[in-house]
Structures are given as structure tokens and as C-alpha cells.
Amino acid sequence: MKMNFTVLSKLLQSTRGLLLSGYAAFAFSFILLLQPNSPGLYRFSALLFCVLLLAAHHYLSMRVLFDARLLDALAQSEQPLHEITADLDQSLIQLKLMPQAKAGRGWTERFQGCIRLFKAQACLLFMQYLVLMCLAFWTLTIHHQAI
């Protein structure tokens, strides 16, 4: 079971690369939105959407990295798993990071939750690049029409 903690922790730690890629997509999108031929309302709406995507991506990245660090600490702990789980649940509840109703869940369910967060982050990154491609196409279309 300890190996599951280590493997999932290492997978989740790749969140930094996803986040940096998301920042790159945002930067390129922002550059495309600076083009003078774009209508003002279009630029504002697209920029707002890009900022919201980036904010959601950043939040998910923080959550995933938090989970990765917790799993890493738990993998290195010498305490029995049931004690670690009880201590973790108590700490998360006291800090209001987890509702009381989620206490006592099995580790399979917790691992699946971590993987869902990681997949959600990957989906947000995909959406950021999709927006970037749409903006690039739009910019090329506008410049082509201007010529």
C-alpha cells in the first residue's frame, strides 16, 4: 500500500509542468489578444475567459500539489496506516480543509479523488490550448482579410 502513496505522489508532482504549460498558453493567448485588429468586446471577453481558465487551473494545481505532498509525507511515515488516516482526517477537519462527512473514507476512494483532480487539471490545460488555437485562427483570419 505504501508504494501506491509513492507512485501517486510522483504522478501528482508533475502538476508543475502542467501549470507552467498553462501559463505559456495564457501568455501566447494574451499576445494574440493584443493584436489591434480584434474588436474590443471580443478581446475583453476572450481575455476574461483566459484569465478564468488560468485561475481555475492554478487552483487545481495547488490542490493537486497539496495532495502530492501529503501522500509523500504519508509514504515516509512509520505509523500504521489506520493511525495515519485518523490523524490526517482529524487535522483536515480541524483546519476546515475537509468536511466531517468525508472522514473515514478508504484509500482507494481517496486515490481516485486525487486522480480526478489531476485529470481535471489536464482538461483545463487542454481547454487553454484549444482557446489558444482558436485565437490564433481568428487572428490569422482577421489579418488575411485585412490584406
pLDDT of 37 above 80: no
Give the residue with greater pLDDT, 128 vs 38.
128
In one-letter notation, the amino acid at residue 28 is: F
Domain count, the chain: 1
C-alpha cell at 91: 487535522
Mean pLDDT of 15-40: 90
pLDDT in tens, 95-131: 999 999 999 999 999 999 999 999 999 999 999 999 9
Give the residue with greater pLDDT, 145 vs 74.
74
pLDDT of residue 146: 57
- What's the chain's average pLDDT? 92
In one-letter notation, the amino acid at residue 80 is: P
pLDDT of 34 above 90: no
- For 102, other C-beta atoms within 10 Å of its C-beta total 13
Position 144 confidence tier, pLDDT thresholds 50, 70, 90 = low
d(CA 132, CA 30): 9
C-alpha cell at 79: 505509523
Mean pLDDT of 4-13: 95
Largest CA distance in the chain: 70
DSSP 77-92: --S-HHHHHHHHHHHH
Q: Is 98 helix (H, G, I), strand (E, B) or coil?
A: coil
Long-range CB pairs of 85-94, under 8 A, 24+ apart, other chains included: none
Sequence-separated (6 or more) residues with CB below 8 Å from residue 81? 1, 107
Note down the domain range covering 70.
Answer: 2-146
In one-letter notation, the amino acid at residue 4 is: N
